[in-house]
Amino acid sequence: MNKDVVIIGAGAAGLMCAIEAGKRGRSVLVLDHARQIGKKIRISGGGRCNFTNRNASPANFISQNPHFCKSALARFTPTDFISLINKHSISFHERNHGQLFCDDSADQIVRMLTQECKLAGVEIQTECEVHNITKAQDFQLQTTIGPLTASSLVIATGGLSIPKSGATNFGLKAAEQFGLNIIPSRPGLVPLKFASDDFKPFLELSGISVDAEVHCNGISFRENILFTHRGLSGPAILQISSYWIQGDSLSINLFPGRDILALLHAQQQSKKQLLTILDQFLPARFNQAWFSQTSSSKPMNRYSPGELKSIAAALTHWLLTPTGTEGYEKAEVTVGGVDTGELSSKTMESKKIPGLYFIGELVDVTGWLGGYNFQWAWSSGWAAGQAV
């Protein structure tokens, strides 16, 4: 079979690219090894798909080259995706920080993309494995549905997270085969594990969450942190995990936006226990775990100003060193991937191998939690769709 464009991976980026290429009159075939297309879309956002973020800007993405994502994000914006959602009468709502979710179900997004593919004359083949790719004038693929030839080949096989959903390293292997550099991958938006003795009391707090500001490598996020039976999760931890490198420490401010030292000083004449004061601000079980690690609580009027200063400092700069992450099984995304230096930021085409494109999460562009990763998939898929 001969096609203008073959796209490997029927996820968010691959389907968007297919729609755009099909609209331009190209003959397009999308291949996926899974039985169902768009599996990560279906499970995303707790089944409601946080399909974009109103405020998405290049600052919300991690990449060795922070400028790379600018062109695609500017040419296919959250507003453009919202227009598509409106065209299909999919109702949605906004949550914190500009995150947009379907009111009903993530399946609506997959149905919308499938309908758009149909309208654009795109063919989709599921349960198809690609065994081998070579390039002469065109790309030759050996697949379970037989040999295929295409003048443009788009690799859109996504990241490594959630292997159960069908994630593979196919795209990284293909990039390597064609001599493209890869930025080493690691799990992102992932819970962190803590195994040190001083964290042990906190492992008993599974399910408790606290508003906090978490700092690592010059960036910080203020949202909830959630105690788990292995360590910490919750939005602030997931966000910072994408910046965390093995060996780094986190600094956690448990009193963000409040002057804890002033609060303690105001109570310095009181006979109330320090624990009772802290219980007004933080969950009592957390405070008990905290004091089991340091000293025991005393009445406020028995603390010196110096002691109160150290307590305030410890609560606003809680230093913790994760032992690791919960890995790709629990990660929402993969940080790293195909080096953006190998690709045109306008078209996603390889600079070395004309006609070969890489899009979506496979590329070294990783979004924050909050709809940014889908926006990158739509934008990069759209950009390639204009060029293939």
Give the footprint of ligand FAD on this chain (CB under 6 A). 8-14, 31-34, 37, 39-40, 43-45, 49-50, 130, 156-158, 161-162, 166-168, 170, 332-333, 360-362, 371-374, 377
Closest distance between ligand FAD and the C-beta of residue 373, in Å?
3
Q: Which CB, 122 or 289, lies closer to ligand FAD?
A: 122
Q: Report the C-alpha gap between 45 and 189 in whole angstroms.
A: 13
Closest distance between ligand FAD and the C-beta of residue 159, in Å?
6
Q: Which CB, 161 or 241, lies closer to ligand FAD?
A: 161
Closest distance between ligand FAD and the C-beta of residue 101, in Å?
8
Q: Report the C-alpha gap between 277 and 271 in whole angstroms.
A: 10
Closest distance between ligand FAD and the C-beta of residue 50, in Å?
3
Closest distance between ligand FAD and the C-beta of residue 109, in Å?
10
Q: Which CB, 12 or 216, lies closer to ligand FAD?
A: 12
Beta bridge partners of 29: 6, 123
Q: What are phi and psi of 209, to 5 degrees?
A: -125, 155
Q: Which CB, 113 or 278, lies closer to ligand FAD?
A: 113
> What sign has the CA pseudo-torsion 347, 348, 352, 354?
negative
Tell the residue number behind the tokens 């499938």, with chain if given.
114
Q: Is 155 left (phi over 0), alpha (psi -120 to 50) or beta?
A: beta
Is the CB of residue 263 less than 8 Å from the CB of residue 274? Answer: no
Q: Which CB, 27 or 125, lies closer to ligand FAD?
A: 125
Beta-carbon-side half-sphere exposure of residue 170 (alpha carbons within 13 Å): 21
Q: Report the C-alpha gap between 162 and 310 in whole angstroms.
A: 42
Q: Report the C-alpha gap between 302 and 194 in whole angstroms.
A: 33
Closest distance between ligand FAD and the C-beta of residue 77, in Å?
15
Percentages helix, strand, coil for the chain (3-state, rounded to 5) are 35, 25, 40
Closest distance between ligand FAD and the C-beta of residue 284, in Å?
33
Is the CB of residue 31 less than 8 Å from the CB of residue 54? Answer: no
Closest distance between ligand FAD and the C-beta of residue 260, in Å?
34
> What sign has the CA pseudo-torsion 196, 197, 201, 206?
positive
Q: Which CB, 128 or 315, lies closer to ligand FAD?
A: 128
Is the CB of residue 348 less than 8 Å from the CB of residue 155? Answer: no
Q: Which CB, 126 or 294, lies closer to ligand FAD?
A: 126
Query: Rounded to whole angstroms, what are the CA distances from 101 to 107, 170, 189, 331?
Result: 12, 30, 18, 20
Q: Which CB, 3 or 33, lies closer to ligand FAD?
A: 33
Q: Which residue is nearest to ligand FAD (CB)?
A: 11
The SS3 of residue 168 is: coil
